[in-house]
Structure 1
Amino acid sequence: MNIGIDMMGGDFAPLEAVKGLQLYLSKSVRPANLFCIGDEAVLTPLLPSGFPARIVHAPQVIDMHEHPTKALKEKQQSSIAIGFHLLATGKIDAFVSAGNTGAMLVGALFSIKAVPGVLRPTISTILPKLNGGTGMLLDVGLNTDCKPENLNQFAILGSLYAKTILGIADPKVGLLNVGEEEGKGNILCQAAYPLLKENDRIRFVGNIEGRDLLFDKADVIVCDGFSGNIILKFAESMYDIAQARNVHTDDYLSRFHYEKVGGTPVLGVAKPVIIGHGISNATAFCNMFSMAEKMVESDLCGEIARSFHA
């Protein structure tokens, strides 16, 4: 298994990326073959002698605030562009970056492309449940405007992810809405509800209100990316508030810290692409590498392709 890492992506790269690699290697029983993509002159002094990774020289960096499409076109020797080239040509099995999110999404959509049958790939976030379980919400920002058919496909993608990666045998799917009753909500929700209800590839449990997100009513909750991103940013603030109020010992609130997950995969593209938070630290990078490893081992992308082909 070969995993490519954008060593130059993120506010604290490459140092935190190097620390994340060391942490990953110390924890993994059978670590993947690592391809460190970045400026060789910068990376070589940071990597210990004999470090079990291959450096792939990438002299350019796409900065966080650059226009994604323009930057990928003009910076062919950037760490993100080279990473996608290696992934598209089969040199690596998964690509991880905490760099420019827009460039990562553009690269995933145009270099790797969507699985045939997937109308729009999506990104998700983990929802820590109060009972100790884990749920997920999607979309959380990739598709701010959606059609009912998109939400229906998000439900399938989320269910496959929940089964394969989260280990939930029969995930319950809910539609984020302003009321529990069928017929509630805006035009999108009213049109999506019957599609989800008739979808025999998921276990649809109906509408989910905002107050139910962190409880066990559903495992996979679907919504448009506009609503999902607002919820994601609000959830992230819960950890910051806990820290500000010196609530350091609450195990549940600590699960809202971004580093616990590390990154999120782009669901619906043909190969594993993991996008991390721009402020990723060593722990977050380590968890991103573990996520990439799990996606390759489980063949989630293959499961998605087979599901949509059927």
Structure 2
Amino acid sequence: MKIGLDIMGGDFAPEANVSGAILANKELPQDTSIVLFGDQDVVREKLVELGGNPDDFEIVHAPDVITMHDHPTRAIPQKPNSTISKGFDLLASGEIQAFASTGNTGAMLVGAIYKVNAVPGIIRPCITSTIPNIKGGNSLILDVGANADCKPDVLYQFAILGSMYAKEVYGIENPKVGLLNIGEEETKGNLLTQSAFKLMQDTTDFNFTGNIEGRDIFTGKVDVIVCDGFTGNVVLKQAEGLFGLMQKRGLRDEYFDRFNYENYGGTPILGVNSNVIIGHGISNDIAVKNMLLHSYDVTKSKLTDKIKEAIN
């Protein structure tokens, strides 16, 4: 297996990415290699500087960078020699089996949709996030920002994707799926959630347990939380903000320590034809290492192939 990494993505590039790759290389199986995308001279220099061996990695020369300020749709065709563009070229050709980046999320979405394409039958690919629950496990929430506006059938597909991700990657048998709403009753909510509930209530495609409220998000009441990307992003940023506030006030708690983004590294774009992993822009070396390890887990699970089979 070959996992590609955008060396120039994120706020602390290239140091955090190179250091994270060195750490991940020590933990990944011997039959798995990391392919580094970036200016080859810079990559080699950083590898030596940070105690790595350039011979342990494959380096693909990609001298350009898609920055956070670049327009995602225009950046991919305008910067064909960028790390993200080159990464998707090799992913599309099958030369690497996964591609991970902490860079421009919009460009990663555009590259995923237009270079490796959505799985036939998928209306809109989506992004998930991991929410620690008080029971000691994790719940998944999707979408968290890729699709601010959704229709009921899109939420239905999110439920299928999230359920498969929870089962195949996290090993949760028959994951419980909940629809995020302002009340538990099926008549509550806006037109979107009311219509989505009607689609989900009698399904056999996943284990739908009904509506859940915001107070249920961290309780572990369900394994998969489904919502539109606007709502999901607000939930995610609120959780991140609460964790940051506690850190600033010097408050430590075993449960809230699990909100640290370093623990999770990255999350896949679900519903595209290959394994694309997005990490947080502020990722340090530990987060990058965990992003690469999760890329391995997602690829090894053959999640993408199983999604294709389920949808088709």
Smaller-chain TM-score bracket: over 0.9
5+ long unaligned stretches in structure 2: none
Q: Is the 8 A contact 2:44 2:54 kept in 1?
A: no
Alignment of 1:65 with 2:65, yes or no, is: no
User: What is the CA deviation profile of residues 149-189 of structure 1, one whole-angstrom value per residue up to 9, with x for unaligned ones?
Assistant: 00000000000000011111010000000001111100000
Please list, as runs of the form range in 1=range in 2, the aligned pairs for 1:171-250 lying within 5 A after superposition. 171-248=175-252, 250=253
Q: Which residue of 2 aligns with 1:17?
A: 17
Q: Which residue of 2 aligns with 1:2?
A: 2
For the residue of structure 1 that corresponds to 2:47, the secondary structure is: coil
TM-score after normalising by structure 1: 0.97
Q: Which residue of 2 aligns with 1:259?
A: 262
| Inter-partner Cα distance in structure 2 for 1:211 and 1:234 | 13
For the residue of structure 2 that corresponds to 1:198, the secondary structure is: coil
What is the Cα deviation at residue 51 of structure 1? 3.9
What is the Cα deviation at residue 27 of structure 1? 2.6
What is the Cα deviation at residue 29 of structure 1? 4.1
| Inter-partner Cα distance in structure 1 for 2:108 and 2:89 | 12
Q: Which residue of 2 aligns with 1:35?
A: 35
Alignment of 1:281 with 2:248, yes or no, is: no
Please list, as runs of the form range in 1=range in 2, the aligned pairs for 1:44-193 lying within 5 A after superposition. 44-48=44-48, 49-193=53-197
User: What is the CA deviation profile of residues 70-103 of structure 1, one whole-angstrom value per residue up to 9, with x for unaligned ones?
Assistant: 1111100000000000000011000000111110
Equivalent residue letter for 2:21: L
What is the Cα deviation at residue 31 of structure 1? 5.9
Q: Single out whichever of 48-57 and 94-103 deviates more from structure 2.
A: 48-57
For the residue of structure 2 that corresponds to 1:230, the secondary structure is: helix
- Judging changes above 3 Å, is the alpha-carbon distance between structure 1 residues 31 and 291 closer, same or farther for their aligned structure 2 residues? farther
For the residue of structure 2 that corresponds to 1:150, the secondary structure is: helix
Q: Is the 8 A contact 1:238 1:256 kept in 2?
A: no
- Select 2:274's aligned residue among 264, 271, 275: 271
Q: Is the 8 A contact 1:18 1:46 kept in 2?
A: yes
Equivalent residue letter for 1:144: A
For the residue of structure 1 that corresponds to 2:259, the secondary structure is: coil
Q: Which residue of 2 aligns with 1:304?
A: 307
TM-score after normalising by structure 2: 0.97
For the residue of structure 2 that corresponds to 1:63, the secondary structure is: coil
Equivalent residue letter for 1:2: K
> Aligned pair count?
308
For the residue of structure 2 that corresponds to 1:111, the secondary structure is: helix
User: What is the CA deviation profile of residues 119-140 of structure 1, one whole-angstrom value per residue up to 9, with x for unaligned ones?
Assistant: 1111011110001011011011
Moved over 4 A (4+): none
Q: Is the 8 A contact 2:25 2:34 kept in 1?
A: no
For the residue of structure 1 that corresponds to 2:237, the secondary structure is: helix
- Select 2:293's aligned residue among 287, 290, 293: 290
| Inter-partner Cα distance in structure 1 for 2:136 and 2:301 | 23
| Inter-partner Cα distance in structure 1 for 2:244 and 2:55 | 35
What is the Cα deviation at residue 69 of structure 1? 1.1
What is the Cα deviation at residue 26 of structure 1? 2.5
Equivalent residue letter for 1:206: G
| Inter-partner Cα distance in structure 1 for 2:80 and 2:219 | 45
| Inter-partner Cα distance in structure 2 for 1:287 and 1:114 | 25
Equivalent residue letter for 2:269: V
| Inter-partner Cα distance in structure 1 for 2:15 and 2:31 | 20
What is the Cα deviation at residue 32 of structure 1? 1.6
- Identical positions, percent: 51
| Inter-partner Cα distance in structure 1 for 2:175 and 2:234 | 24
What is the Cα deviation at residue 30 of structure 1? 3.3
| Inter-partner Cα distance in structure 1 for 2:90 and 2:220 | 40
| Inter-partner Cα distance in structure 1 for 2:98 and 2:87 | 9
